[in-house]
Structure 1
Amino acid sequence: MCQSAERKSRRNKNNVSSSPVPVNPLCVTDYTASNFKICKQSDPNVNECLKTAIQDALSLVKNGLPEFNIPRIDPIDVESLVIGEGTGAVHLTQNYKNVKIYGLTTSMIESVEFKGNDGDITLVTIGKVPELRLEADYDINGKILVMPVVGEGKCTIKLEEVNTTMTIKAKPFHKKGVTYSSIEEFLVTMAPKKMETIFENLFDGDAAMGAEMNKLINDNWDEIFSDVKNGYEEAFGLIFKNVANQIFKKVAFKDMFPL
Protein backbone atom coordinates (compact mmCIF):
# COMPACT_ATOMS: atom_id res chain seq x y z
CA MET A 1 0.00 0.00 0.00
CA CYS A 2 1.31 3.47 -0.91
CA GLN A 3 1.65 5.81 2.05
CA SER A 4 2.49 9.50 2.19
CA ALA A 5 5.77 10.68 3.69
CA GLU A 6 6.83 13.70 5.70
CA ARG A 7 7.73 16.78 3.65
CA LYS A 8 11.25 18.09 4.15
CA SER A 9 12.44 21.48 2.97
CA ARG A 10 15.84 21.77 1.33
CA ARG A 11 17.97 24.76 0.49
CA ASN A 12 21.06 24.60 -1.70
CA LYS A 13 24.21 26.68 -1.59
CA ASN A 14 22.98 28.92 -4.41
CA ASN A 15 19.96 30.15 -2.44
CA VAL A 16 17.41 28.24 -4.49
CA SER A 17 15.10 26.31 -2.23
CA SER A 18 12.23 23.94 -2.87
CA SER A 19 10.43 21.23 -0.95
CA PRO A 20 10.95 17.80 -2.51
CA VAL A 21 8.70 15.08 -1.17
CA PRO A 22 10.02 11.57 -0.46
CA VAL A 23 8.29 8.90 -2.53
CA ASN A 24 7.61 5.22 -1.89
CA PRO A 25 9.82 3.47 -4.49
CA LEU A 26 7.49 0.51 -4.95
CA CYS A 27 4.61 2.81 -5.84
CA VAL A 28 6.62 4.77 -8.38
CA THR A 29 8.04 1.63 -9.99
CA ASP A 30 4.55 0.21 -10.46
CA TYR A 31 3.31 3.49 -11.92
CA THR A 32 6.33 3.80 -14.21
CA ALA A 33 5.83 0.33 -15.61
CA SER A 34 2.15 0.81 -16.36
CA ASN A 35 1.84 4.45 -17.40
CA PHE A 36 5.13 5.72 -18.82
CA LYS A 37 6.72 4.73 -22.10
CA ILE A 38 9.82 2.66 -21.33
CA CYS A 39 12.81 2.64 -23.69
CA LYS A 40 15.33 -0.19 -23.79
CA GLN A 41 19.03 0.61 -23.94
CA SER A 42 19.47 -2.08 -26.58
CA ASP A 43 16.98 -0.40 -28.92
CA PRO A 44 18.96 1.01 -31.88
CA ASN A 45 16.45 3.87 -31.89
CA VAL A 46 16.64 4.49 -28.15
CA ASN A 47 17.13 8.24 -28.61
CA GLU A 48 13.97 8.56 -30.71
CA CYS A 49 12.12 6.41 -28.19
CA LEU A 50 13.24 8.66 -25.34
CA LYS A 51 12.25 11.76 -27.29
CA THR A 52 8.68 10.46 -27.40
CA ALA A 53 8.80 9.13 -23.84
CA ILE A 54 9.94 12.45 -22.37
CA GLN A 55 7.36 14.38 -24.38
CA ASP A 56 4.59 12.09 -23.13
CA ALA A 57 5.87 12.17 -19.55
CA LEU A 58 5.63 15.96 -19.38
CA SER A 59 1.87 15.72 -19.84
CA LEU A 60 1.51 12.83 -17.39
CA VAL A 61 3.22 14.62 -14.51
CA LYS A 62 1.98 18.16 -15.24
CA ASN A 63 -0.42 18.18 -12.30
CA GLY A 64 1.68 15.84 -10.19
CA LEU A 65 0.89 12.34 -9.01
CA PRO A 66 -0.69 12.93 -5.60
CA GLU A 67 -1.21 9.24 -4.99
CA PHE A 68 2.57 8.91 -5.01
CA ASN A 69 3.37 12.27 -3.38
CA ILE A 70 4.91 13.65 -6.57
CA PRO A 71 4.08 17.38 -6.73
CA ARG A 72 2.88 19.21 -9.83
CA ILE A 73 5.53 20.55 -12.19
CA ASP A 74 3.40 23.17 -13.93
CA PRO A 75 3.69 25.43 -12.18
CA ILE A 76 6.80 24.48 -10.25
CA ASP A 77 6.70 26.00 -6.78
CA VAL A 78 9.98 27.40 -5.45
CA GLU A 79 10.27 28.89 -1.99
CA SER A 80 12.93 31.42 -2.93
CA LEU A 81 15.71 32.12 -5.40
CA VAL A 82 18.40 34.75 -5.82
CA ILE A 83 19.88 35.89 -9.13
CA GLY A 84 23.21 37.64 -8.63
CA GLU A 85 24.24 40.83 -10.39
CA GLY A 86 25.88 40.76 -13.79
CA THR A 87 29.07 42.42 -14.98
CA GLY A 88 27.55 44.91 -17.41
CA ALA A 89 23.99 46.19 -17.60
CA VAL A 90 22.68 44.76 -14.33
CA HIS A 91 24.14 45.96 -11.04
CA LEU A 92 21.68 44.55 -8.55
CA THR A 93 20.78 41.29 -6.86
CA GLN A 94 17.34 39.93 -7.71
CA ASN A 95 15.60 38.39 -4.71
CA TYR A 96 12.46 36.36 -5.35
CA LYS A 97 10.12 34.54 -2.98
CA ASN A 98 6.97 32.44 -3.43
CA VAL A 99 8.03 31.68 -6.98
CA LYS A 100 5.84 29.87 -9.50
CA ILE A 101 7.33 28.79 -12.83
CA TYR A 102 4.85 28.03 -15.60
CA GLY A 103 5.34 26.45 -19.01
CA LEU A 104 7.80 23.59 -18.59
CA THR A 105 5.27 20.97 -19.70
CA THR A 106 4.63 22.84 -22.96
CA SER A 107 8.21 22.06 -24.04
CA MET A 108 8.58 20.59 -27.51
CA ILE A 109 11.34 17.97 -27.45
CA GLU A 110 13.47 18.15 -30.59
CA SER A 111 16.21 15.62 -29.87
CA VAL A 112 17.60 13.37 -27.14
CA GLU A 113 21.02 11.77 -26.71
CA PHE A 114 21.33 9.06 -24.08
CA LYS A 115 24.32 7.22 -22.65
CA GLY A 116 23.81 4.90 -19.72
CA ASN A 117 25.65 2.10 -17.97
CA ASP A 118 24.54 0.56 -14.68
CA GLY A 119 23.21 3.79 -13.21
CA ASP A 120 25.80 6.09 -14.76
CA ILE A 121 23.76 8.38 -17.04
CA THR A 122 24.34 11.26 -19.42
CA LEU A 123 21.13 12.55 -21.00
CA VAL A 124 21.09 15.58 -23.31
CA THR A 125 17.72 16.98 -24.34
CA ILE A 126 17.28 19.80 -26.86
CA GLY A 127 13.93 21.49 -27.14
CA LYS A 128 11.90 24.67 -27.27
CA VAL A 129 9.48 26.16 -24.74
CA PRO A 130 6.86 28.50 -26.24
CA GLU A 131 6.74 30.52 -23.02
CA LEU A 132 8.37 30.22 -19.60
CA ARG A 133 6.67 32.48 -17.08
CA LEU A 134 7.94 33.28 -13.61
CA GLU A 135 5.60 34.89 -11.08
CA ALA A 136 6.94 35.90 -7.68
CA ASP A 137 7.33 38.44 -4.92
CA TYR A 138 10.47 40.45 -5.69
CA ASP A 139 12.87 42.75 -3.87
CA ILE A 140 15.50 44.71 -5.83
CA ASN A 141 17.76 47.68 -5.15
CA GLY A 142 20.54 48.71 -7.50
CA LYS A 143 21.06 49.88 -11.06
CA ILE A 144 19.98 48.69 -14.50
CA LEU A 145 21.71 50.33 -17.47
CA VAL A 146 23.18 52.87 -14.99
CA MET A 147 19.65 53.90 -13.92
CA PRO A 148 18.83 53.49 -10.20
CA VAL A 149 15.98 51.09 -9.50
CA VAL A 150 14.38 50.05 -6.22
CA GLY A 151 11.18 48.25 -5.37
CA GLU A 152 9.41 45.29 -3.86
CA GLY A 153 6.12 43.69 -4.77
CA LYS A 154 4.70 41.33 -7.38
CA CYS A 155 6.45 40.61 -10.65
CA THR A 156 6.03 38.60 -13.82
CA ILE A 157 8.92 37.61 -16.08
CA LYS A 158 8.09 36.00 -19.42
CA LEU A 159 10.63 34.32 -21.68
CA GLU A 160 9.22 33.58 -25.13
CA GLU A 161 10.26 30.91 -27.66
CA VAL A 162 13.05 29.65 -25.46
CA ASN A 163 15.54 27.31 -27.12
CA THR A 164 16.87 25.02 -24.41
CA THR A 165 19.57 22.41 -23.95
CA MET A 166 19.33 20.36 -20.77
CA THR A 167 22.16 18.02 -19.79
CA ILE A 168 21.66 15.54 -16.98
CA LYS A 169 24.64 13.75 -15.45
CA ALA A 170 23.78 11.07 -12.91
CA LYS A 171 25.81 8.59 -10.88
CA PRO A 172 24.71 5.23 -9.47
CA PHE A 173 24.01 4.41 -5.85
CA HIS A 174 22.83 1.15 -4.36
CA LYS A 175 20.01 0.47 -1.95
CA LYS A 176 19.15 -3.02 -0.73
CA GLY A 177 21.07 -4.51 -3.65
CA VAL A 178 19.27 -2.40 -6.26
CA THR A 179 20.97 0.24 -8.44
CA TYR A 180 19.45 3.71 -8.63
CA SER A 181 20.71 6.96 -10.16
CA SER A 182 21.24 10.30 -8.45
CA ILE A 183 21.50 13.42 -10.59
CA GLU A 184 24.71 15.26 -9.74
CA GLU A 185 24.50 17.91 -12.47
CA PHE A 186 21.55 19.40 -14.34
CA LEU A 187 22.96 21.93 -16.77
CA VAL A 188 20.60 24.30 -18.59
CA THR A 189 21.23 26.71 -21.44
CA MET A 190 18.47 29.11 -22.45
CA ALA A 191 18.14 31.32 -25.53
CA PRO A 192 14.82 33.21 -25.59
CA LYS A 193 13.58 35.17 -28.60
CA LYS A 194 12.10 37.77 -26.26
CA MET A 195 11.81 38.68 -22.60
CA GLU A 196 9.01 40.76 -21.09
CA THR A 197 8.93 41.86 -17.46
CA ILE A 198 6.39 43.58 -15.24
CA PHE A 199 7.60 44.78 -11.85
CA GLU A 200 4.78 46.24 -9.77
CA ASN A 201 5.31 48.88 -7.08
CA LEU A 202 8.69 50.15 -8.26
CA PHE A 203 9.91 53.35 -6.59
CA ASP A 204 7.43 53.03 -3.70
CA GLY A 205 4.49 52.86 -6.08
CA ASP A 206 5.36 55.83 -8.30
CA ALA A 207 3.34 54.78 -11.37
CA ALA A 208 5.10 57.04 -13.87
CA MET A 209 8.63 56.08 -12.80
CA GLY A 210 7.63 52.41 -12.60
CA ALA A 211 6.22 52.46 -16.13
CA GLU A 212 9.39 54.09 -17.45
CA MET A 213 11.64 51.53 -15.77
CA ASN A 214 9.57 48.57 -17.03
CA LYS A 215 9.73 50.07 -20.54
CA LEU A 216 13.50 50.53 -20.23
CA ILE A 217 13.94 46.89 -19.20
CA ASN A 218 11.70 45.56 -21.96
CA ASP A 219 13.21 47.78 -24.67
CA ASN A 220 16.70 46.55 -23.73
CA TRP A 221 15.80 43.01 -22.69
CA ASP A 222 18.48 41.31 -24.82
CA GLU A 223 21.38 43.21 -23.25
CA ILE A 224 19.90 42.81 -19.77
CA PHE A 225 19.16 39.09 -20.09
CA SER A 226 22.59 38.38 -21.58
CA ASP A 227 24.20 39.95 -18.52
CA VAL A 228 22.35 37.71 -16.04
CA LYS A 229 21.83 34.69 -18.32
CA ASN A 230 24.23 32.47 -16.39
CA GLY A 231 22.44 33.21 -13.14
CA TYR A 232 19.06 32.25 -14.56
CA GLU A 233 20.46 29.09 -16.15
CA GLU A 234 22.08 28.01 -12.90
CA ALA A 235 18.90 28.70 -10.94
CA PHE A 236 16.67 26.79 -13.36
CA GLY A 237 19.17 23.91 -13.42
CA LEU A 238 19.04 23.58 -9.64
CA ILE A 239 15.25 23.73 -9.63
CA PHE A 240 14.90 21.11 -12.37
CA LYS A 241 17.50 18.91 -10.65
CA ASN A 242 15.40 18.84 -7.48
CA VAL A 243 12.29 17.91 -9.45
CA ALA A 244 13.96 15.20 -11.57
CA ASN A 245 15.75 13.59 -8.63
CA GLN A 246 12.42 12.83 -7.00
CA ILE A 247 11.93 10.27 -9.77
CA PHE A 248 15.52 9.18 -10.45
CA LYS A 249 16.22 8.34 -6.82
CA LYS A 250 13.05 6.29 -6.46
CA VAL A 251 12.88 4.29 -9.70
CA ALA A 252 15.50 1.57 -10.15
CA PHE A 253 17.83 2.05 -13.11
CA LYS A 254 16.81 -1.33 -14.57
CA ASP A 255 13.15 -0.23 -14.53
CA MET A 256 13.78 3.21 -15.97
CA PHE A 257 16.26 2.12 -18.65
CA PRO A 258 15.99 -1.67 -19.09
CA LEU A 259 18.44 -3.57 -21.25
Structure 2
Amino acid sequence: MCSFYFVKFVTFFIVFGVVLGKISRRLPADGPLYTEKPPWLKACKRTDPNLSKCLNEMFVQMFPQLAKGIPQANISPFEPLYLDSVSVSKGSGPITLAGSFINLTVVGPSNATPTFTSMDIPNRKMHSGIFFPLLDIKARYNLKGNILVLPLVGHGTSDLKLIKVDTNVLSDLSFPKVEGREILQIDHMNVNFKVGGMRVNLRNLFNGNEVLGQTLNSFLNQNSNEIITDLSESIGQSLGDILKELMNEVFSKIPTDLWLLEDDEEPSSQIQEI
Protein backbone atom coordinates (compact mmCIF):
# COMPACT_ATOMS: atom_id res chain seq x y z
CA MET A 1 0.00 0.00 0.00
CA CYS A 2 2.76 2.41 0.93
CA SER A 3 4.59 1.80 -2.35
CA PHE A 4 1.42 2.38 -4.39
CA TYR A 5 0.62 5.75 -2.80
CA PHE A 6 4.23 6.84 -2.92
CA VAL A 7 4.74 5.99 -6.58
CA LYS A 8 1.43 7.42 -7.67
CA PHE A 9 1.96 10.74 -5.96
CA VAL A 10 5.58 11.16 -7.00
CA THR A 11 4.61 10.40 -10.61
CA PHE A 12 1.83 12.96 -10.31
CA PHE A 13 4.39 15.48 -9.10
CA ILE A 14 6.82 14.71 -11.89
CA VAL A 15 4.38 14.64 -14.79
CA PHE A 16 1.90 17.22 -13.56
CA GLY A 17 4.54 19.44 -12.05
CA VAL A 18 7.61 19.28 -14.23
CA VAL A 19 5.97 19.19 -17.61
CA LEU A 20 2.60 20.67 -16.98
CA GLY A 21 2.26 22.18 -13.55
CA LYS A 22 2.18 25.63 -12.08
CA ILE A 23 4.86 27.37 -14.09
CA SER A 24 7.01 30.42 -13.93
CA ARG A 25 8.33 31.48 -17.31
CA ARG A 26 10.13 34.61 -18.44
CA LEU A 27 8.00 36.11 -21.18
CA PRO A 28 9.33 38.67 -23.63
CA ALA A 29 8.02 42.20 -23.71
CA ASP A 30 5.15 43.03 -26.02
CA GLY A 31 6.36 43.09 -29.59
CA PRO A 32 5.09 44.99 -32.62
CA LEU A 33 2.27 43.70 -34.77
CA TYR A 34 3.20 42.36 -38.16
CA THR A 35 2.13 44.85 -40.81
CA GLU A 36 2.74 42.52 -43.75
CA LYS A 37 2.58 38.77 -44.18
CA PRO A 38 5.92 37.05 -43.50
CA PRO A 39 6.99 34.44 -46.06
CA TRP A 40 6.55 31.55 -43.61
CA LEU A 41 2.87 32.37 -42.95
CA LYS A 42 0.24 30.74 -45.15
CA ALA A 43 -3.00 32.70 -45.63
CA CYS A 44 -6.44 31.05 -45.61
CA LYS A 45 -9.91 32.29 -46.57
CA ARG A 46 -12.59 32.10 -43.89
CA THR A 47 -15.17 30.78 -46.37
CA ASP A 48 -12.85 28.24 -48.01
CA PRO A 49 -14.61 24.84 -47.98
CA ASN A 50 -11.15 23.37 -47.36
CA LEU A 51 -10.38 25.77 -44.51
CA SER A 52 -9.40 22.94 -42.15
CA LYS A 53 -6.78 21.64 -44.58
CA CYS A 54 -5.44 25.14 -45.20
CA LEU A 55 -5.13 25.92 -41.48
CA ASN A 56 -3.32 22.68 -40.77
CA GLU A 57 -0.89 23.40 -43.61
CA MET A 58 -0.38 26.86 -42.11
CA PHE A 59 0.58 25.40 -38.73
CA VAL A 60 2.91 22.84 -40.33
CA GLN A 61 4.64 25.65 -42.23
CA MET A 62 4.89 27.89 -39.15
CA PHE A 63 6.45 25.42 -36.72
CA PRO A 64 10.07 25.50 -37.96
CA GLN A 65 10.14 29.31 -37.83
CA LEU A 66 8.53 29.50 -34.40
CA ALA A 67 10.95 26.93 -33.02
CA LYS A 68 13.79 29.35 -33.78
CA GLY A 69 11.91 32.36 -32.41
CA ILE A 70 11.38 35.74 -34.03
CA PRO A 71 13.42 38.37 -32.14
CA GLN A 72 12.04 41.24 -34.21
CA ALA A 73 8.54 40.55 -32.86
CA ASN A 74 9.68 39.44 -29.39
CA ILE A 75 8.47 35.91 -30.06
CA SER A 76 10.73 33.65 -28.03
CA PRO A 77 11.92 30.28 -29.35
CA PHE A 78 10.24 27.18 -28.01
CA GLU A 79 13.15 24.88 -28.83
CA PRO A 80 14.40 24.38 -26.27
CA LEU A 81 11.59 25.60 -24.04
CA TYR A 82 12.86 27.09 -20.78
CA LEU A 83 10.80 27.25 -17.59
CA ASP A 84 12.12 28.99 -14.49
CA SER A 85 10.30 26.80 -12.00
CA VAL A 86 7.29 24.64 -11.28
CA SER A 87 5.82 23.87 -7.90
CA VAL A 88 3.18 21.55 -6.49
CA SER A 89 2.22 21.00 -2.86
CA LYS A 90 -0.05 18.67 -0.89
CA GLY A 91 -0.45 19.54 2.75
CA SER A 92 -2.92 17.11 4.32
CA GLY A 93 -3.91 13.47 4.44
CA PRO A 94 -1.63 10.41 4.42
CA ILE A 95 0.67 12.13 1.94
CA THR A 96 2.21 15.54 2.53
CA LEU A 97 4.71 16.87 0.06
CA ALA A 98 6.19 20.21 -0.86
CA GLY A 99 8.81 20.97 -3.43
CA SER A 100 9.80 22.50 -6.68
CA PHE A 101 11.65 21.94 -9.91
CA ILE A 102 13.85 24.75 -11.23
CA ASN A 103 15.77 25.57 -14.40
CA LEU A 104 13.74 23.29 -16.61
CA THR A 105 14.80 22.64 -20.19
CA VAL A 106 12.32 20.96 -22.54
CA VAL A 107 13.66 19.61 -25.84
CA GLY A 108 11.40 18.21 -28.55
CA PRO A 109 8.54 20.68 -29.18
CA SER A 110 10.04 21.73 -32.53
CA ASN A 111 9.60 18.18 -33.83
CA ALA A 112 5.86 18.33 -33.24
CA THR A 113 3.50 17.68 -36.14
CA PRO A 114 0.05 19.29 -36.37
CA THR A 115 -2.17 16.34 -37.29
CA PHE A 116 -5.46 18.15 -37.93
CA THR A 117 -7.03 21.58 -37.47
CA SER A 118 -10.61 22.79 -37.77
CA MET A 119 -12.07 26.16 -36.82
CA ASP A 120 -15.69 27.11 -36.18
CA ILE A 121 -15.45 30.89 -36.44
CA PRO A 122 -19.10 31.80 -35.63
CA ASN A 123 -19.01 29.69 -32.45
CA ARG A 124 -15.43 30.66 -31.56
CA LYS A 125 -14.10 27.10 -31.39
CA MET A 126 -10.97 25.41 -32.72
CA HIS A 127 -10.28 21.68 -32.71
CA SER A 128 -6.73 20.53 -33.37
CA GLY A 129 -4.23 17.75 -32.84
CA ILE A 130 -0.49 17.87 -32.21
CA PHE A 131 1.86 14.88 -32.11
CA PHE A 132 5.17 15.07 -30.21
CA PRO A 133 7.55 12.16 -30.97
CA LEU A 134 9.56 12.89 -27.83
CA LEU A 135 9.63 15.46 -25.04
CA ASP A 136 12.88 15.41 -23.08
CA ILE A 137 12.80 17.41 -19.81
CA LYS A 138 15.78 18.10 -17.58
CA ALA A 139 15.63 20.02 -14.29
CA ARG A 140 16.81 20.29 -10.70
CA TYR A 141 14.34 19.19 -8.05
CA ASN A 142 13.87 19.55 -4.30
CA LEU A 143 11.21 17.47 -2.50
CA LYS A 144 10.37 17.10 1.17
CA GLY A 145 7.45 15.47 2.92
CA ASN A 146 5.97 12.29 4.32
CA ILE A 147 4.41 9.28 2.64
CA LEU A 148 2.17 7.66 5.26
CA VAL A 149 4.67 7.19 8.13
CA LEU A 150 7.79 7.44 5.99
CA PRO A 151 9.80 10.63 5.53
CA LEU A 152 10.73 11.64 2.00
CA VAL A 153 13.64 13.95 1.26
CA GLY A 154 15.32 14.32 -2.09
CA HIS A 155 17.14 16.93 -4.12
CA GLY A 156 19.22 16.70 -7.24
CA THR A 157 18.86 16.47 -10.99
CA SER A 158 16.01 14.84 -12.84
CA ASP A 159 15.35 13.53 -16.34
CA LEU A 160 11.94 12.82 -17.80
CA LYS A 161 11.21 11.52 -21.29
CA LEU A 162 7.66 11.42 -22.64
CA ILE A 163 7.44 9.28 -25.78
CA LYS A 164 4.85 9.56 -28.57
CA VAL A 165 2.61 12.21 -27.03
CA ASP A 166 -0.56 12.51 -29.16
CA THR A 167 -2.83 15.40 -28.20
CA ASN A 168 -6.41 16.29 -29.05
CA VAL A 169 -7.11 19.94 -28.28
CA LEU A 170 -10.38 21.89 -28.10
CA SER A 171 -9.94 25.66 -27.77
CA ASP A 172 -12.29 28.54 -26.96
CA LEU A 173 -11.43 31.59 -29.05
CA SER A 174 -12.02 35.30 -29.08
CA PHE A 175 -11.01 37.95 -31.61
CA PRO A 176 -10.06 41.15 -29.77
CA LYS A 177 -8.58 44.17 -31.49
CA VAL A 178 -5.09 45.51 -30.89
CA GLU A 179 -4.15 48.85 -32.40
CA GLY A 180 -7.35 48.64 -34.43
CA ARG A 181 -6.55 45.23 -35.93
CA GLU A 182 -8.14 41.90 -35.06
CA ILE A 183 -6.03 39.13 -33.53
CA LEU A 184 -6.86 35.59 -32.48
CA GLN A 185 -6.78 34.90 -28.75
CA ILE A 186 -7.14 31.50 -27.12
CA ASP A 187 -9.14 31.90 -23.92
CA HIS A 188 -9.22 28.28 -22.81
CA MET A 189 -7.85 24.92 -23.93
CA ASN A 190 -9.06 21.45 -23.08
CA VAL A 191 -6.42 18.83 -23.88
CA ASN A 192 -6.84 15.08 -24.11
CA PHE A 193 -3.77 13.03 -24.87
CA LYS A 194 -2.15 9.63 -25.09
CA VAL A 195 1.45 8.84 -24.19
CA GLY A 196 3.26 5.90 -25.73
CA GLY A 197 5.74 5.65 -22.87
CA MET A 198 7.63 7.47 -20.13
CA ARG A 199 11.13 7.22 -18.68
CA VAL A 200 11.99 8.85 -15.35
CA ASN A 201 15.24 9.26 -13.47
CA LEU A 202 15.36 11.16 -10.17
CA ARG A 203 18.90 11.33 -8.84
CA ASN A 204 19.86 11.59 -5.17
CA LEU A 205 16.55 10.36 -3.76
CA PHE A 206 16.44 9.46 -0.06
CA ASN A 207 19.55 11.54 0.63
CA GLY A 208 21.62 9.56 -1.84
CA ASN A 209 20.49 6.04 -0.92
CA GLU A 210 21.16 4.42 -4.29
CA VAL A 211 19.27 1.19 -3.55
CA LEU A 212 16.02 2.94 -2.60
CA GLY A 213 16.43 5.48 -5.39
CA GLN A 214 16.95 2.84 -8.07
CA THR A 215 14.01 0.84 -6.76
CA LEU A 216 11.69 3.82 -6.96
CA ASN A 217 12.85 4.88 -10.44
CA SER A 218 12.39 1.32 -11.72
CA PHE A 219 8.90 1.12 -10.25
CA LEU A 220 7.94 4.46 -11.80
CA ASN A 221 9.11 3.38 -15.24
CA GLN A 222 7.46 -0.03 -15.07
CA ASN A 223 4.07 1.44 -14.09
CA SER A 224 4.19 4.74 -15.98
CA ASN A 225 1.40 4.11 -18.50
CA GLU A 226 -1.13 3.07 -15.86
CA ILE A 227 -0.33 6.04 -13.65
CA ILE A 228 -0.40 8.58 -16.50
CA THR A 229 -3.80 7.26 -17.59
CA ASP A 230 -5.14 7.69 -14.07
CA LEU A 231 -3.91 11.29 -13.96
CA SER A 232 -4.68 12.23 -17.56
CA GLU A 233 -7.46 14.75 -16.81
CA SER A 234 -5.34 16.85 -14.46
CA ILE A 235 -2.30 16.64 -16.72
CA GLY A 236 -4.37 17.69 -19.73
CA GLN A 237 -5.64 20.80 -17.95
CA SER A 238 -2.14 21.99 -17.20
CA LEU A 239 -0.83 21.08 -20.64
CA GLY A 240 -3.56 23.32 -22.03
CA ASP A 241 -2.28 26.24 -19.95
CA ILE A 242 1.21 25.95 -21.41
CA LEU A 243 0.05 25.47 -25.02
CA LYS A 244 -2.34 28.41 -24.64
CA GLU A 245 0.48 30.65 -23.45
CA LEU A 246 2.74 29.66 -26.33
CA MET A 247 0.04 30.11 -28.98
CA ASN A 248 -1.13 33.46 -27.64
CA GLU A 249 2.44 34.73 -27.60
CA VAL A 250 2.55 34.11 -31.36
CA PHE A 251 -0.92 35.14 -32.49
CA SER A 252 -0.90 38.34 -30.44
CA LYS A 253 1.67 39.61 -32.98
CA ILE A 254 -0.02 38.37 -36.19
CA PRO A 255 -3.35 40.07 -37.02
CA THR A 256 -5.97 37.92 -38.71
CA ASP A 257 -5.97 40.19 -41.78
CA LEU A 258 -2.69 38.45 -42.68
CA TRP A 259 -3.78 34.82 -42.36
CA LEU A 260 -7.55 34.41 -41.80
CA LEU A 261 -8.98 36.47 -44.62
CA GLU A 262 -12.40 37.67 -45.61
CA ASP A 263 -13.37 36.97 -49.23
CA ASP A 264 -12.41 40.46 -50.37
CA GLU A 265 -9.08 40.55 -48.53
CA GLU A 266 -5.61 39.82 -49.84
CA PRO A 267 -2.67 39.72 -47.42
CA SER A 268 0.20 42.12 -47.90
CA SER A 269 3.51 40.40 -48.59
CA GLN A 270 6.94 41.35 -47.44
CA ILE A 271 10.46 40.32 -48.25
CA GLN A 272 11.94 41.22 -44.91
CA GLU A 273 10.33 40.62 -41.56
CA ILE A 274 9.66 43.40 -39.13
TM-fit CA distance, 1:148: 6.2
Aligned length: 241
For the structure 1 residues 34 and 17, does the alpha-carbon distance in structure 2 shift closer, same or farther, using more than 3 Å as the test?
Answer: same
Are positions 1:132 and 2:135 aligned together?
A: yes
Return the TM-score normalized by structure 1: 0.81
Q: 2:227 aligned to 221, 224, 229, which one?
A: 224
1:97 matched to 2:102: yes
- Aligned: 1:61 with 2:61: no
AA aligned to 1:51 is N
Alpha-carbon separation, structure 2, partners of 1:238 and 1:155: 23
Q: SS at the partner of 1:74?
A: coil
The normalised TM-score by structure 2 is: 0.77
Unaligned 5+ segments in structure 1 are 1-13
CA distance, structure 2, for counterparts of residue 52 and residue 142 of structure 1? 48
Distance 2:148 2:105 in 1: 27
Deviation at 1:93, TM superposition (A): 5.6
Instruction: Tell me, in whole angstroms, the C-alpha distance in 2 between the residues paired with 1:36 and 1:258.
Output: 13
What is the aligned-residue RMSD (CA, Å)?
A: 2.9
Assess if the C-alpha contact under 8 Å between 1:83 and 1:235 holds in 2.
no
CA contact (8 A) 2:40 2:61 kept: no
**Could you tell me which residue of structure 2 aligns to residue 236 of structure 1?**
239
| In 2, Cα distance between equivalents of 1:139 and 1:243 | 27
Partners of 1:170 and 1:227 in 2: CA distance: 29
* Shift in CA distance, 102/79, structure 1 to aligned 2, threshold 3 Å: same
Cα–Cα, structure 1 residues 38 and 83, in superposed 2: closer, same or farther, change >3 Å? farther
Shift of residue 95, structure 1, vs aligned partner = 2.6
Is 1:254 the equivalent of 2:261?
no
Q: Which entry has the higher C-alpha Rg, 1 or 2?
A: 2
Q: Which runs of 5+ in 2 are unaligned?
A: 1-20, 263-274
Residue from 171, 180, 185 that aligns with 1:182: 185
Per-residue deviation, 1:57? 1.1
CA shift, 1:232, in A, is: 2.8
> Contact between 2:125 and 2:173, CA under 8 Å: does it hold in 1?
yes
Looking at structure 1, the residues matched to 50 and 141 of structure 2 have their Cα atoms a distance apart, in angstroms, of 45
Contact 1:83-1:228 at 8 Å conserved across structures: no
Q: Work out which of the residue numbers 137, 149, 154 in structure 2 matches 1:151.
A: 154
**Structure 1 residue aligned with 2:28:** 21
- Equivalence for 2:47: 42
Which of 111, 120, 131 matches 1:115? 120
3-state DSSP of counterpart to 2:261: coil
What per-residue deviation string (whole Å, max 9, x for no partner) do you get for residues 79-112 of structure 1?
A: 2223566xxxx97566322122221221222211
